[in-house]
Amino acid sequence: MATDLKHMLSLDAAYQLGEQLAAAGASVHRGRWQAAMGADFEAQGLMHRGRRLAQVMATFLSPDFAQNAPLLVRAMGRPMGLDKQGEPTASGDVPSSFFYLPHSMYIASHGLNHLPEAMHAQHALTQRFTAEFSLRPFLQQHTQTTLAHLALWAQDDNAHVRRAVSEATRPRLPWAARLPDFVRDPTPVLPLLTRLRDDSSAYVRRSVANHLNDIGKDHPELLTGLARQWLDDAPVPATRQSLLRHALRTAIKRCDAQALALFGHGQVSPLQVHSASIRPSTARIGESVTVRCQLHNPTAQAASALADWRVFYVKANGTLSPKVFKGSTLQVEAHSSVAIEKTLSLRQMSTRTHHPGRHRVEIALNGHVHPLGHFDLQP
């Protein structure tokens, strides 16, 4: 069973926070710290716990943030590292990285009028947790100055710091308020992403890809134009091609012709769809159905296509909502056929709630849609 997120910032972790601040020079007494946390601390969710502890920190620290920022950094444990795959590893000094959620909230709420000190503290913070959330108020209120700091961070030796440059400026960062200025016009951030596009860390490059995917939701032509520029450079590293394929995933799923053309799938495929079947044709929530078809090549030479499955799920209000399942690039020899299939789980999931009704299924070949049929879902 998944652990409730609130346990990532436990009661013991809250006590440890007070002890670390005291060891760094803050006037923290455990009894008063515990009283300030409130008797209902354990009843709160993760974000409420974070905010509560940020408020407690403020009551025990000096009103002068510029004085507190170095103390915060001294109180922090060891930075995270990166494993052989370039993924973050915990330092072991704290129960979880969410231990630093109160630090993030404290800096965001108290450091806005002390930009140099706040940026220094966030430089340390993002090596232990993340500064992607606490940086966003600075980007909104001190846009140009914060971007100038991030331009320096983009050249930092630490991959966690470089990743923060991309994550903090994402216009549609999950769990965070949007950045309306960058939603309307993301061009001020593009030089930072260009600097990071060939980063040595896959952890950083994945953030750049997710950032570009965000941009493409509001500015699809800007994204495909930028991708074309990045692919026109010679030679193009394989890592950049992979980054752009991930960045254009949403565009490709919605059959954007320009995005498909960038990866050689802009032409109509000669492959024909034959012998489509959906079994069973009627299923119950919790079961599964299997979709099959054959792709036939009627031509005298080998032909290929990027094949994606599209399922139109019934929503609670009875309307249909498409979900694209990535397939693969298939090659079919001359005058030959290949059979492909996809099993669809109809179990209730945290990311998708199934509702009774008729579900339509299609396959897209190089972005061109071919109906396959439907299945009826019962309670």
Could you tell me the two tokens for 272? 């024909």
pLDDT at 3: 58
Residue 40, classed as helix, strand or coil, is: coil
How many helices, marked H, and strands, marked E, lie in the chain? 16, 10
Looking at residue 81, what is its pLDDT? 87
Domains of the chain, by residue range, sit at 5-261, 272-378
Tell me the per-residue pLDDT of 323-365, one tens digit each, with 9 for 90 and over. Answer: 999 989 999 999 999 999 999 999 999 889 999 999 999 999 9
Phi, psi of 112 (to 5 degrees): -65, -30
Domain 5-261 fold is 1.25.40
Helices within 8-158 (DSSP H only): 11-24, 30-37, 46-60, 65-75, 101-110, 115-125, 135-141, 143-153
pLDDT for position 2: 46
How high is the pLDDT of residue 1? 38
**Amino acid code (one letter) for 120:** H
Tokens linked to 302: 């080998």
pLDDT in tens, 16-75: 999 999 999 999 999 999 999 999 999 999 999 999 999 999 999 999 999 999 999 999
Instruction: Show the tokens assigned to 323.
Output: 């979900």
Distance CA 265, CA 250 (A): 15
Per-10-residue mean pLDDT of the chain, 379 residues long, equals 75 96 94 96 96 97 96 95 81 87 97 97 96 97 98 97 98 93 97 97 96 97 97 92 96 94 93 97 97 97 96 96 93 97 95 96 96 97
Phi (first) and psi of residue 53, to 5 degrees: -70, -30
Within a 13 Å sphere around the CA of 115, how many CA atoms are in the beta-carbon half? 15
Largest CA distance in the chain: 82
Host H or E run for residue 327 = strand 320-332
Under DSSP, is residue 12 helix (H, G, I), strand (E, B) or coil? helix
What is d(CA 197, CA 209) in angstroms, rounded to the nearest whole number? Answer: 8
Q: For the domain bounded by 272-378, which CATH number is listed? A: 2.60.40.10
Query: Residues with Cβ < 8 Å from 116, sequence gap 6 or more?
Result: none
